[in-house]
Amino acid sequence: MYDFDNNDVATSIYYGLFALQHRGQESCGIAVSDTEGPKGKVSSMKGMGLVNEVYTPESFEKLKGNIGVGHVRYSTAGASTIENAQPLVLNYVKGTLGLAHNGNLINAPELRKELALTGAIFQTTIDSEVIAYHIARERVNSASAEEAVMKALRKVKGSYSLVVMSPRKLIGARDPFGFRPLCIGKRDNAYILASESCALDTIGAEFIRDVEPGEVVTISPEYGIQSYKDMCQEKHARCIFEYIYFARPDSVFDGMGIYESRLIAGRCLAKDSPVDADMVVGVPESGNAAAQGYSLESGIPYGTAFVKNSYVGRTFIKPKQSSREQSVRVKLNVVKEAVAGKRIIMIDDSIVRGTTSGLIVNMLKEAGAKEVHVRISAPPFLWPCYFGTDIPAREQLIAYNRSIEDIRDLIGADSLGYLRIERLKEMVSGLPICEGCFTGTYPLAPPTEDIRGEYER
């Protein structure tokens, strides 16, 4: 966020991150600077855990400045440690950079090696630091910070939505495929860049537009929003998992509402995998809208079977399997009187490893459900993701080398149906998408060496 009237931005960034907490719960950070103050002085504070655990009212006494960047993290490459928390703050020849990155670079190991051979010393194990170094290097021979950002981004391959705070400018960039979302908002005389539009709503800002795939934008008081489209290309590949699971239902990406997208998925499931039952229920939160869609299309009543403890994070994003299983029961409880004696259609957004789904089906049966028919608003996961979603190696995926009947048996459901791959385009009204985790066909060739941090475990 950059406030041209010189108001402090840290508390607004805090509330914006609060709205984006679903995107990561491992660590968070805020870095701010005063554009009128000494050039290159950045105050930053990072910590492990949730936004409301890391920051107290006293924190904001130290975070004074009218330009800043914030980040919430869940790790897909690089270990879960405080060193790897973002934003990264670099002091270099032209001042200071604050950088926050969402995505995964598939050529990070080569770029890291290249930098290390010329004497670079790394403080973290994350690919975002590679981008930061390259921007700093390019800045020495560039007329402006945004020119350095563009030169650096030409070297990287993979997915990135990026915000960079330079001493007098805020820069945003989205990779040419548009894997990850990024949008621009405005409140009074302040401009905001955010991963999702729901963060703008939370701080009372208006949505201006999405940053286009391949676009770099620079925000400054002198010129407002400047746009550079040298890296834009015709081929796009938005991550379909943003629409299925990641994003909050009240967000809109590239003109497509997430809630509407999930309703469509539910309607498609009802057409393709109908079943006679008494009630349709969603597994909160990301299964709810799809369940409503299934109910609308099938005419079977929509009901609430689960009470969710709002103070528990997302199980998919939990780093270890053991903590994932334990947190399912802490997170969800079944309303026994709602399901007892009934045939239930349970809608969930995905089955990754299968343990969570098996536990939830079992909880419904223990509560007296007569039948549990599972419908999934995504196709089966068969391939890992290299672009920033923590879909693991194939051997850990329940759908790998198993038939739908095998999976149904493993999770204990009475029937199981997945969304058909050809329906994915309908979910996003024809926007070009990446569906590599379902088909194994990626928009970019996968990396030849492991970028997912597997070697660190």
Q: pLDDT at position 314, please?
A: 52
CA 315 to CA 324: how far, in whole Å? Answer: 5
Structure tokens at 316: 């998919």
Structure tokens at 212: 């286009």
Please, which residues have CB within 8 angstroms of residue 151's CB and are 6 or more apart in sequence? 134, 138, 142
CA 185 to CA 1: how far, in whole Å? Answer: 9
DSSP string for 147-175: HHHHHHHTT--B--EEEEEETTEEEEEE-
The separation between CA 243 and the C-alpha centre of its own chain, rounded to angstroms, equals: 10
What is the helix, strand, coil percentage profile of the chain, to 5? Answer: 30, 25, 45
Q: pLDDT at position 315, please?
A: 47
Q: What percent of the chain has pLDDT over 70?
A: 94
Q: Which of 11-25, 104-118, 203-217, 440-454 has the lowest mean pLDDT?
A: 440-454
Residue with the larger pLDDT of the pair 127 and 257: 257
CB 240 within 8 A of CB 336: no
3-state SS assignment for residue 433: strand
Q: pLDDT at position 322, please?
A: 58
Segment 111-119 long-range contacts (CB within 8 Å, at least 24 positions apart): 111/155, 111/156
Q: pLDDT at position 353, please?
A: 86
Q: What are φ and ψ of residue 186, in 5° steps?
A: -145, 140
Q: pLDDT at position 454, please?
A: 44
pLDDT in tens, 177-217: 999 999 999 999 999 999 999 999 999 999 999 999 999 99
Is the model's pLDDT at 41 over the cut of 60? yes
pLDDT in tens, 418-442: 999 999 999 999 999 999 999 999 9
Q: pLDDT at position 231, please?
A: 97
Average pLDDT over residues 80-109: 89
Rounded to 10 deg, the angle between the 108-117 and 127-140 helix axes is 50
